Amino acid sequence: MNIVTRFAPSPTGSLHIGGIRTALFSWAYAKKNKGKFILRIEDTDLERSTPEAVEIIKNGMKWLKLDHDGDIIFQTQRFDRYKELIQALLDQGDAYYCYTSKAELDQLRELQVNQGVKPKYDGRWRPEENKKLPGIPNNVQPVIRFKTPSNGEIHWKDLVKGEVVIKNEELDDLIIARSDGTPTYNFCVVVDDSDMKVTHVIRGDDHINNTPRQINLLKALNAPIPQYAHLSMILASDGQKLSKRHGAASVMQYRDDGYLPEAVINYLARLGWSHGDNEIFSQEQLIEWFDFDHVSSSAAQFDQEKLEWINSYYIKNKPVDELADLIKPRLLDMGVERLDTDILNNAIKLYQDREKNLNVFAGDILFFFQGIDLSAELKNKYLDEKSKNLIKAFVGEVEKLNWTNDEINKYMKEFVKEKEIKFPEIAMPLRAIIAGTDNTPSIGSIIFILGIDDVKKRISCILK
RNA sequence: GACCCCAUCGUCUAGAGGCCUAGGACACCUGGUUUUCAUCCAGGCAACAGGGGUUCGACUCCCCUUGGGGUCACCA
Query: Tell me, what CATH number does A285's domain have?
Result: 3.40.50.620
Task: Say which residues have a Cβ less than 8 Å from residue A430's Cβ, sequence separation at least 6.
Answer: A391, A394, A443, A447
Q: Distance in angstroms, CA of A162 to C1' of B63?
A: 18
Decide if A223 is inside a domain: no
The pLDDT value recorded for residue A246 is: 77
d(CA A76, CA A182): 9
Task: Say which residues have a Cβ less than 8 Å from residue A221's Cβ, sequence separation at least 6.
Answer: A85, A88, A89, A190, A191, A194
A115 and A21 in a common domain: no
Decide if A412 is inside a domain: yes
A172 and A93 in a common domain: yes
For strand B, the positions having any atom within 7 A of a protein Cβ are 1-8, 10-16, 23-27, 35-40, 68-76
The pLDDT value recorded for residue A152 is: 94
User: Which helix H or strand E contains A461, and what residues bound it?
Assistant: helix A452-463
The answer to whether the C-beta of A92 is closer than 7 A to strand B is no
The answer to whether the C-beta of A427 is closer than 7 A to strand B is yes
A452 and A382 in a common domain: yes
A146 and A82 in a common domain: yes
**A297 DSSP 8-state letter:** S
Q: Which of residues 128-157 of A touch strand B (CB under 7 A)?
A: 140-141, 143
A439 and A418 in a common domain: yes
The pLDDT value recorded for residue A250 is: 86
User: Which helix H or strand E contains A158, and what residues bound it?
Assistant: strand A153-158
Decide if A196 is inside a domain: no
The answer to whether the C-beta of A7 is closer than 7 A to strand B is no
The pLDDT value recorded for residue A138 is: 87
A279 and A338 in a common domain: no
Decide if A203 is inside a domain: no
Q: What is the pTM of this model?
A: 0.94
The pLDDT value recorded for residue A243 is: 73
A417 and A347 in a common domain: no
Query: Tell me, what CATH number does A419's domain have?
Result: 1.10.10.350
Interface ipTM: 0.95
The answer to whether the C-beta of A236 is closer than 7 A to strand B is no
The pLDDT value recorded for residue A106 is: 94
Q: Distance in angstroms, CA of A163 to C1' of B54?
A: 22
Please give the protein residue whose CA is closest to the C1' of the nucleotide B12: A271
Q: Distance in angstroms, CA of A298 to C1' of B65?
A: 20
* Closest-approach nucleotide to residue A444, Cα vs C1': B35
The answer to whether the C-beta of A120 is closer than 7 A to strand B is yes
d(CA A164, CA A149): 18
Query: Tell me, what CATH number does A173's domain have?
Result: 3.90.800.10
A401 and A325 in a common domain: no
A342 and A245 in a common domain: no
Q: Which of residues 262-281 of A touch strand B (CB under 7 A)?
A: 270-272, 274, 276-277, 279
The pLDDT value recorded for residue A241 is: 81
List active site positions of A.
Answer: 244
The answer to whether the C-beta of A50 is closer than 7 A to strand B is no
Q: Which of A130, A151, A185 is the last residue of a domain?
A: A185
Decide if A226 is inside a domain: no
d(CA A56, CA A11): 8
* Closest-approach nucleotide to residue A160, Cα vs C1': B5
The answer to whether the C-beta of A9 is closer than 7 A to strand B is yes
The pLDDT value recorded for residue A33 is: 97
Which amino acid belongs to residue A18? G
* Closest-approach nucleotide to residue A442, Cα vs C1': B35
Q: Which of residues 193-232 of A touch strand B (CB under 7 A)?
A: 205-210, 232
d(CA A415, CA A426): 9
Residue A151 CB neighbours (<10 A): 7
Q: Distance in angstroms, CA of A448 to C1' of B42?
A: 34
The pLDDT value recorded for residue A116 is: 83
One pLDDT digit (tens) per residue for chain A, 464 residues: 799 999 999 998 889 899 999 999 999 999 999 999 999 999 998 889 999 999 999 999 999 999 999 999 999 999 999 999 999 999 999 999 999 999 999 999 999 988 888 899 999 999 998 999 998 998 889 999 999 999 999 999 999 999 999 999 999 999 999 999 999 999 999 999 999 999 999 999 999 999 999 999 999 999 999 999 999 999 988 888 877 777 777 899 999 999 999 999 999 999 999 999 999 999 999 999 999 999 999 999 999 999 999 999 999 999 999 999 999 999 999 999 999 999 999 999 999 999 999 999 999 999 999 999 899 999 999 999 999 999 999 999 999 999 999 999 999 999 999 999 999 999 999 999 999 999 999 999 999 999 999 999 999 888 76
Domain count of chain A?
A: 4
d(CA A211, CA A215): 6
**Domain boundaries, position A459:** 376-463
The pLDDT value recorded for residue A13 is: 83
Decide if A220 is inside a domain: no
The answer to whether the C-beta of A445 is closer than 7 A to strand B is yes
Query: Tell me, what CATH number does A337's domain have?
Result: 1.10.8
- Residue A143 in contact with residue A98, Cβ under 8 Å? yes
Decide if A221 is inside a domain: no
The pLDDT value recorded for residue A2 is: 94
Decide if A416 is inside a domain: yes
- b or e along A269-308 (b: 16 or more beta carbons within 10 Å of the residue's beta carbon)? bbbbbebeeeeebebeebbebbebeebeeeebebeeeebb
